[in-house]
Amino acid sequence: MRFHIQGQKKLTGTIHVSGAKNAILPIIAATTLTNKTCIIDNVPRISDVDTMLEILRSVGGSVAWTGEHQLTISNKDLELQPLDTKLVKRLRASVLFLGPFLARFQSFSLPEPGGCIIGNRPLDSHLEGLRALGCIWERTPQSYEVSHSGLVGADVVLREASVTATENIVMAACAARGTTRIINAASEPHVQDLIAFLIKMGADISGGGTSTITVNGSNSLGGAQHTVIPDPIDAGTYIILGIASKSKITVTDIRLDHLDVVLETLRAMGAEFDRLERSIIIHQTGVLKSEKIETRIYPGIPTDLQPLFGVLATQAHGTSFIHETLFESRLGYLSELEKMGASVLISDAHRAYVTGPTPLNGRNIECRDLRAGASLVVAALIASGETSIENAQILDRGYEKIDEHLAQIGASIIREDSAN
Ligand code: EPU
């Protein structure tokens, strides 16, 4: 699928932010911890959610859309059977079935998960954490075979504050006998949201949002109703679009407290905006200044917004230093921006310099991962002329109908199926 985007259209009005992708994916997995019904609201209509639900259905989960953004899930008939390798390979988040399935069954076979190619994404922290809780595991050429004879709480020290490893261990620990303490846990808003959901299900968890999480295991979690938090990355994407395109737009339905460092960095770059309770009103920004953009775990600048800051840097005066500290393959979008006229120096897999301001011109470019894709859409909207983005279906994995969403504020994006 291809997007054809006409640049420099006047953008104006209000754009709504969807529920958080990286919160709903572990929450879907967490519904397997109970055989009671769970109702989840503010679920984004994105293809990663569809894939997680397809995996769940394939093992006996009963899933229904009971509203445009509401899911009702019952896993009372869940069966232990191999997951469909093709589905698991579609997204990295399929790894999130590991923890809850081991909480429910004594063995689990996880095919090697796929997902965005953004660097080396090992599973050692997940597996070592589960080993501490009493699991044994073996890696075969196609899968991870994990089993146990009863989970037991333990201290788990993560070498990396991995988001999905923290989530897997928290979910497994809910069924472990005794207390689990996760040290160097991830504290991202989506980890906090999963914990909020688990607490509603009856779990005894403290320390969510800090680097030490304590779980007192219990065997009986019940159903729960929960509303997913707004997506901070969706919000950041549209806020940066407003600033980079010098538009007067409002980004609404957001949690500002999840974006403190992002907003402070944007202000340091010269962006002008007002903070309301659940919205940001962006004013037509004057001169933007370069800035050092270094990705950090929460509450720092999230790696998922690094490519968006990269586009903004092309419109800022001076040289911005971009340091992607988490992943090794997340600067590829800069080569596409270079084709559009950006001045870029990539010094290694983690570091680049972008010098601006440079006008961007419409070109044929390609998107290789989700957040790179979002940055190219923003670049295309501020560029002169038409940009064609190949592989644009990747955007549907994490942004709800981004073309229709952006059309509401005046963007012109035409979706063309590759078959045409
Ligand atoms: N890491 C290890 N060992 C592990 C796991 C991770 O060394 O066992 C390292 C990774 O190599 C990386 C760092 O830890 O350097 C962080 O990786 P993490 O495990 O936190 O990433 P993830 O859990 O696979 C989630 C999000 C990503 C987001 C990262 C970082 C989900 C489903 N995915 O991935 O989201 O970039 O955290 O915040 O929550 C996206 O939405 O586009 C996306 C890629």
Average pLDDT over residues 259-266: 98
* 376 — pLDDT class (breaks 50, 70, 90): very high
Average pLDDT over residues 266-293: 96
Domain 21-227 of CATH type 3.10.20.740: no
Average pLDDT over residues 329-357: 97
Comparison of pLDDT for 121 and 137, the residue scoring more: 137
Domain 2-18+230-416 of CATH type 3.60.20.10: no
Rounded mean pLDDT of the chain? 96
Task: Please choose, from the candidates 282, 396, 215, the residue with its C-alpha nearest in 3D space to the C-alpha of residue 15.
Answer: 282
Answer yes or no: is pLDDT of 94 > 60. yes
Answer yes or no: is pLDDT of 99 > 90. yes
pLDDT reported for residue 285: 82
The best mutation among 130, 164, 298 to test binding of ligand 1, ranked by most ligand atoms within 8 Å of the C-beta, falls on 164
Which residue's C-alpha comes closest to atom 43 of ligand 1? 304
pLDDT reported for residue 116: 67
Q: Coil, strand or helix: which one is 373?
A: helix
Answer yes or no: is pLDDT of 303 > 90. yes
> How many other CB atoms are found less than 10 A from the CB of residue 387?
26
pLDDT reported for residue 420: 54
Cα distance between residue 45 and residue 397, in whole Å: 9
Which residue's C-alpha comes closest to atom 40 of ligand 1? 304
Answer yes or no: is pLDDT of 122 > 90. no
* 256 — pLDDT class (breaks 50, 70, 90): very high
What residues contact 347, with CB distance under 8 A and at least 6 apart? Answer: 353
- Ligand 1 nearest atom to the CA of residue 125, by list position: 8
Which residue's C-alpha comes closest to atom 37 of ligand 1? 163
The best mutation among 18, 21, 22 to test binding of ligand 1, ranked by most ligand atoms within 8 Å of the C-beta, falls on 22
pLDDT reported for residue 218: 80
Answer yes or no: is pLDDT of 253 > 70. yes
Average pLDDT over residues 103-126: 84
pLDDT reported for residue 115: 66
Is 116 known to be catalytic? Answer: yes
How would you label 212-237 residue by residue, b for 16+ Cβ within 10 Å and e otherwise?
A: ebbbebeeebebbebbbbbbbbbbbb
- Ligand 1 nearest atom to the CA of residue 370, by list position: 42
Comparison of pLDDT for 318 and 284, the residue scoring more: 318
Tell me, yes or no, if the two domains 2-18+230-416 and 21-227 fold the same way: yes
How many whole angstroms from 264 Cα to the centroid of ligand 1? 24
Q: Please state the domain extents for the chain.
A: 2-18+230-416, 21-227
pLDDT reported for residue 118: 63
Q: Which of 80-89, 292-301, 333-342 has the lowest mean pLDDT?
A: 80-89
Cα distance between residue 416 and residue 164, in whole Å: 34
